[in-house]
């Protein structure tokens, strides 16, 4: 996260990340599949327009932009998470069934530190977890560095994200490793999602890794390893038009 890898390694890393994003995400149902509630699949804001968050507050929005910028920074061969619209994707998901935890069991008892096979074990919905986690991390940064997370230089943000990933930062009622895992998973989802969900602007992530998107004729190329796919990607909206 602290450096921008060269083009081949960056493409390889993000291509592997696309494979690693599970069909069922950290919180039980893939955010990219949520269309219930209207907002998740609402038309994305125009590329030239400025998106106004519907759920996240201004300080939360600043945190998200500062965090996802370090998780997937921009490179010479492809956009970073902010340019790709990942914060918009996250905000739309918070107002959808995914954000409200509406599609899976949310009753106790909850068993912290349980094996992944037991599924999601927090009493917070995703939107509650983001709100609580961001506030707690910003408060920790204010106490430790006299600045909120978004105001810190990139190398310090990288170091804090690494600490969160390892669970080295202890916060009341916020399991930091689980928070980092949710943020990273949702960032990958937003980066590689169909643009109809708000992320992957201009299909930049798909173009970078050579993913065809919703093209119906891609199956003909599956059995042709080593050959470069000659056509650009197509979004779901384009495929339906």
Digit-coded pLDDT (tens) for 190-217: 999 999 999 999 999 999 988 888 887 7
In this prediction, residues 154-168 reach a mean pLDDT of 96
Q: Which residue has the tokens 């992957």?
A: 200
Name the residue range of residue 64's domain. Answer: 7-209
Q: Which residue has the tokens 């699949």?
A: 41
70 vs 152: CA distance, rounded Å: 12
pLDDT at 171: 93
190 vs 168: CA distance, rounded Å: 26
Look up the pTM and report it: 0.80
Q: Would residue 232 count as lying in a domain? A: no
pLDDT at 122: 85
Nearest to 93 by CA among 206, 196, 239, 201: 196
Q: Would residue 173 count as lying in a domain? A: yes
Backbone phi, psi, residue 75, to 5°: -135, 170
Comparing 17 with 241, the larger pLDDT belongs to 17
Task: Pull the structure tokens for residue 106.
Answer: 């949310």
In this prediction, residues 24-37 reach a mean pLDDT of 41
- What angle do the packed helices 58-71 and 154-166 form, to 10 degrees? 90
70 vs 76: CA distance, rounded Å: 15
- Choose the weakest-confidence range: 106-110, 160-164, 179-183: 106-110
Provide, rounded to the nearest whole percent, the portion of the chain with pLDDT above 70.
Answer: 78
Q: Would residue 228 count as lying in a domain? A: no
Q: Would residue 230 count as lying in a domain? A: no
Q: Would residue 98 count as lying in a domain? A: yes
Structurally, the chain folds into a number of domains equal to 1
Question: Do residues 11 and 191 touch, judged by C-beta distance below 8 A?
Answer: no
Q: Would residue 214 count as lying in a domain? A: no
Give whole-number Cα distances, 68 to 31, 62, 86, 114, 140, in Å: 16, 10, 8, 27, 19
169 vs 191: CA distance, rounded Å: 27
Q: Would residue 54 count as lying in a domain? A: yes
Long-range contacts of 128-133 (CB under 8 A, 24+ apart): 129/174, 129/179, 129/182, 130/56, 130/60, 130/90, 130/94, 130/182, 131/60, 132/173, 132/174, 133/171, 133/174, 133/176, 133/179
Digit-coded pLDDT (tens) for 101-140: 988 888 888 887 778 787 778 889 999 999 999 999 999 9
- For 26, counting Cβ atoms within 10 Å of its Cβ (0-12 exposed, 13-18 middle, 19+ buried), the class is buried
On the question of pLDDT at 44 being above 80, the answer is: no
Query: Please, what's the b/e burial string for 160-176 (b: 16 or more CB within 10 A of its CB; e: otherwise)?
Result: bbebbbeeebebeebbb
Q: Is the dihedral of CA 38, 185, 71, 231 positive or negative?
A: negative
Q: Would residue 241 count as lying in a domain? A: no
Residues 6 or more apart whose Cβ sits within 8 Å of residue 156: 145
Give the CA angle between residues 92, 97, 103 to the nearest 5°: 145
């Amino acid at each position: 996260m602290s450096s921008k890898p060269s083009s081949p390694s960056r493409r390889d890393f993000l291509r592997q990340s696309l494979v690693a994003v599970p069909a069922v995400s950290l919180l039980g149902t893939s955010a990219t599949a949520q269309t219930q509630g209207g907002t998740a699949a609402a038309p994305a804001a125009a590329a030239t327009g400025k998106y106004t968050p519907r759920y996240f507050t201004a300080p939360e929005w600043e945190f998200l932009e500062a965090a996802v910028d370090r998780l997937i920074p921009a490179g010479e061969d492809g956009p970073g998470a902010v340019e790709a619209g990942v914060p918009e994707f996250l905000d739309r998901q918070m107002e959808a069934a995914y954000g409200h935890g509406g599609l899976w069991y949310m009753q106790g008892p909850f068993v912290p530190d349980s094996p992944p096979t037991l599924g999601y074990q927090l009493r917070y919905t995703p939107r509650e977890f983001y709100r609580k986690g961001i506030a707690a991390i910003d408060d920790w940064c204010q106490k430790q560095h006299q600045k909120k997370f978004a105001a810190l230089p990139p190398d310090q943000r990288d170091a804090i994200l690494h600490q969160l990933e390892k669970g080295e930062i202890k916060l009341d009622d916020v399991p930091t490793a689980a928070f980092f895992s949710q943020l990273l998973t949702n960032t990958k989802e937003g980066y590689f999602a169909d643009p109809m969900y708000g992320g992957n602007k201009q299909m930049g992530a798909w173009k970078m890794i050579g993913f065809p998107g919703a093209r119906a004729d891609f199956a003909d190329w599956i059995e042709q390893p080593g050959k470069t796919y000659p056509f650009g990607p197509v979004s779901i909206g384009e495929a339906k038009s």
